[in-house]
Amino acid sequence: MMQQNLAYGKPYDMWSSFQSLIPKSETDCDLSDEIETLCQKCAKQTKSSVVYPMCCQNREEAREWCQKYISFGLQ
C-alpha cells in the first residue's frame, strides 16, 4: 500500500518505513544464501516457528541439528 509522505512529498511503503525503525541484528542467514536456504528448509519440514531464528543464529547448535534433520534418510 503506497501512501503519500506528507513531510517530504514522496510516496513510501508503510511497512518498510516501519521496519527501518526497528533495530535489526544481523544473522548468518543475512550473510549467506546457503545458510538461509538450509534454515528455511528446516523450518518448513519441521513446521516449527522457532527453528528458523534458532538456525539463523545457531543457538543451541540448531544449524547442525537442521542439517542432520533434513539429510536424514538421504544416502
| Per-residue pLDDT reduced to its tens digit, 31-50 | 999 999 999 999 999 999 99
More confident residue, 25 or 64: 64
Q: Would you state the pLDDT for residue 42?
A: 97
The C-alpha cell at 13 is: 511503503
How far is it, in rounded angstroms, from Cα 31 to Cα 54?
A: 15
pTM of the model: 0.65
Q: Is the pLDDT assigned to residue 18 strictly greater than 80?
A: no
How far is it, in rounded angstroms, from Cα 9 to Cα 44?
A: 41
How far is it, in rounded angstroms, from Cα 47 to Cα 56?
A: 16
Q: Is the pLDDT assigned to residue 74 strictly greater than 90?
A: no
Average pLDDT, stretch 53-57?
A: 94
With a CB cutoff of 8 Å and minimum separation 6, the contacts of 11 are 2, 3, 4, 5
